[in-house]
Amino acid sequence: MSSFVVALDVGGTSMKGGLVSESGVVLLTERRPTPREEGPDAAVTAIRDFISHLAASGDGIPSGVGLAVPGLVSENSAVYSANIGWRDVPAADFTALDVPVRLGHDVQTGGLAENVLGAGQGVDDFLFLPIGTGIAGALILRGEPYGGSSGWGGEIGHIPVFPDGEQCACGQFGCLETYASAASVGRRYSQRAGLSGVKAEEVVASDDPLAVEVWDEAVEALSLALATYTLLLDPSMIVLGGGLAEAGPALFDPVCTRLVKRLAFRDAPPLVPAALGVDAGMLGASLLGWRAAGRPDLGPGWTVNVRSAPLVS
C-alpha cells in the first residue's frame, strides 16, 4: 500500500483535486465545478463529497488532506469568503475522513508550491503574483507564505496606484486590479472602443491606439505597484503567473523596463514566469496535506509532472 494525500484547490468556478504520493507522484487529478449559487453549505458539502471520492480512488487511507481555499483563511478554518459566502468553517467540516487536514489561502498555497517546486525553488524572499480575473499576491518571506497580522497580507491588487482613478469593485479608488487584471484590461478596452467582451489577450495583441493606451496603463499600474513592493520588501525575484503572464514578452518586457526606470538607487529584481501554471494551487495543497500528516520534509526534490497523471472527469 502506498501512502498519499488528497489535495484540493477550491477556485471561484471550479475545484481541482488530486492524489499525491510521498515521492511527489501525482497519481490522478480530477476537476469539478464549485457550486456557488446554492450557498455556503452546499459548497462545503460538495468539497466533502469530492474529497471522499478522491480518497476512495486511492490505494488505502490517505495520510492527510490539504485544501487551498479563497478568502480569509487560517490553518484550521475557512474564516471568510465573499465569493463562496462561508464564515468560520472549521477544517474538519471539509472532510468526512478521520485524517489530519490543513487549510491554506489559495494564492499563498500557490506561492508555497512555486517556492518548493517551481520558479522560486531555493529562493527565500519573493513575490508570487498571479494576474488573472483579479490580482492577489503571495508574499514569500524567509521561505514561507506570509499573511500578515490578520491574514489580509498580499492583497496587492488593491494597492491604490492612481489615487484619483477609477473605482474598484472593492470600493476603493485607483486599485491595481482595476487597471491591470486580465478582466480589467478586457473591460476597459471594450468600454473605450464601444465593443463588448474583448479578451485581454486580444487587447495585448492589437495595434489599435485605444488598445495600446489601455495596455500601457496596465503596464504603468503594474510597474508602480512592483516598485512599491520592491522598495518595501526587497525581493530576490518577482514571479508572475496567471492568465495574463501567458502574454510573455508583451508583458514582461515593458513592465521590466519601467520597473528598472522607477528604481533609481537600486537594481530591480528579475521578473520570472511562474512554473506550475494552473496546477500551483493543487500542488501547494498536497504540501499542506503532507504537513498535516506530520511530513513537512516532503516536497523539495520532487519532480512533479501533473500532466502525466490520469485526469478523471
Q: Least Å distance between CB 306 and Zn ion?
A: 32
Please report which helix (H) or strand (E) contains residue 117, including its range. helix 106-117
Q: Which residue has the cell 446554492?
A: 38
Question: Strand 4-10 and strand 14-21: pairing?
Answer: antiparallel
Q: Give 44 or 170: the residue with its C-beta nearer to Zn ion.
A: 170
Q: What is the phi/psi pair of residue 148, to 5°?
A: 85, -170
Which three cell numbers, joined as nine digits, stand for 221? 499600474
Interface size with Zn ion, residues (CB under 5 A) = 5
Pick from 168, 226, 245, 251: which binds Zn ion (CB under 5 A)?
A: 168
Q: Which stretch binds Zn ion (CB under 5 A): 112-120, 161-169, 257-265, 283-291?
A: 161-169
User: Which residues, in sequence order, are bridge partners of residue 73?
Assistant: 78
291 binds Zn ion (CB under 5 A): no
Pick between residue 127 and residue 175 the one whose CB is nearest to Zn ion.
175
Cβ-based burial of 246 (10 A; exposed 0-12, middle 13-18, buried ≥19) = middle
| Distance between CA atoms of residues 221 and 180, nearest Å | 7
Among 83, 172, 228, 236, binds Zn ion (CB under 5 A): 172
Contact in structure between 263 and 230 (CB atoms under 8 Å): yes
Q: What is the nearest approach in angstroms of Zn ion to the Cβ of residue 175?
A: 3
- Cell numbers of 57, please? 480512488
Q: Which of 44, 92, 99, 170 binds Zn ion (CB under 5 A)?
A: 170
CB of 151 to Zn ion, least distance (A): 17
Q: Please identify, using beta-carbon distances, which residue of 153 and 273 lies nearer to Zn ion.
A: 153
Of 76-84, 164-172, 243-251, 283-291, the segment contacting Zn ion by CB under 5 A is: 164-172
Decide if residue 175 touches Zn ion (CB under 5 A). yes
Measured from the CB atom, the residue of 225 and 309 that comes closer to Zn ion is 225
Instruction: Report the candidate in 44, 34, 159 with the shortest Cα–Cα distance to residue 93.
Output: 44
The verdict on 176 binding Zn ion (CB under 5 A) reads: no
d(CA 66, CA 142): 22
**Closer to Zn ion at the Cβ: 93 or 155?**
155
Q: Which of 158, 187, 188, 258 binds Zn ion (CB under 5 A)?
A: 158
Q: At what angle do helices 209-233 and 182-193 cross, to 10 degrees?
A: 150
Residues that bind Zn ion (CB under 5 A): 158, 168, 170, 172, 175
